[in-house]
Amino acid sequence: MAGKIFAIGGMYDPEAGQRLFGRFVSLTGKDRPVVAYLGTASGDRYSGIEAFLWLSYRAGAVPLVVPLFQRTPDLREVFGDVDAVFVGGGNTYSMLAVWRAYGLDRILRDLYERGIPLGGVSAGAICWFEYALTDSWANRLEVIEGLGFVEGGAVPHYSLEKDRRPYTHRYILEGRMPFAYAIEDGVGVLFVDGKPSEVYAAVNGGKAYVVRKKDKVVEEKALKM
């Protein structure tokens, strides 16, 4: 089965967010898919759960919220019969630490290899890559190791937040990321078996880029497909 990752740069616009989530749900190929939600990056904050429930209702999905900051369920059992997994935004570094402590990284890898669509927004978009540019620390943007399902790095909020582009260029020049997919808010990129397959722009002019070093300078190219 083909592994599918749908990485969304940001969902600041509610209508764009609804379209992006709808596209993600459609990857299941089912009329009433069970979509699991992980709000770990925000500490299972209720506002994130509430937004997910609303999006699921609008998309015709059956929501399954999986909390990790209450008494944690048997995760292999919980994820044994889901059709997709969607991950919310927040602190990427803390989220990955919690997932690894519970062995959820291995469970998600199994789902990916079974062809279950995985995706999310912001932290939930960049966690799937080898490297992620995150603002998990209050005073800086930093590169961390992600789950490694997709080669290269990932950057959300690429045009909305002014520091994202210069830090991306800096870390690529320093060799801390070999290259990166930089995704604007209102845009989702579908990766199939680790390769970009579709750019879904839910806002006018929304783009995603491949950023890499070439001849000692940074080259930025818009993804077109």
For residue 224, the model assigns a pLDDT of 87
* SS3 of residue 93 by DSSP: helix
Q: Which residues contact 83 (CB under 8 A, 6 or more apart)?
A: 28, 30, 33, 34, 35, 116, 117
Q: Where are the domains of the chain?
A: 4-152+188-206
| 157 assigned to active site | yes
Mean pLDDT per 10-residue run, the chain (225 residues)? 94 95 98 98 97 98 96 94 97 98 98 98 98 94 98 96 95 97 98 98 97 94 90
| 56 assigned to active site | no
Q: Which of 42, 56, 122, 136 is catalytic?
A: 122
Q: Which of 42, 157, 159, 169 is catalytic?
A: 157
Q: pTM for the complete prediction? A: 0.96
Q: What is the pLDDT of residues 175-194, one digit of tens each?
A: 999 999 999 999 999 999 99
Strand 34-38 relative to strand 84-87: parallel, antiparallel, unpaired? Answer: parallel
Q: CA-CA distance, 90 to 101, in Å (whole number)?
A: 18
Q: What is the CB neighbour count within 10 angstroms for residue 196?
A: 18
Residue 162, phi-psi category: left (phi > 0), alpha (psi -120 to 50), beta (remainder): alpha
Fold of 4-152+188-206: Rossmann fold (3.40.50)
Q: CA-CA distance, 7 to 3, in Å (whole number)?
A: 13
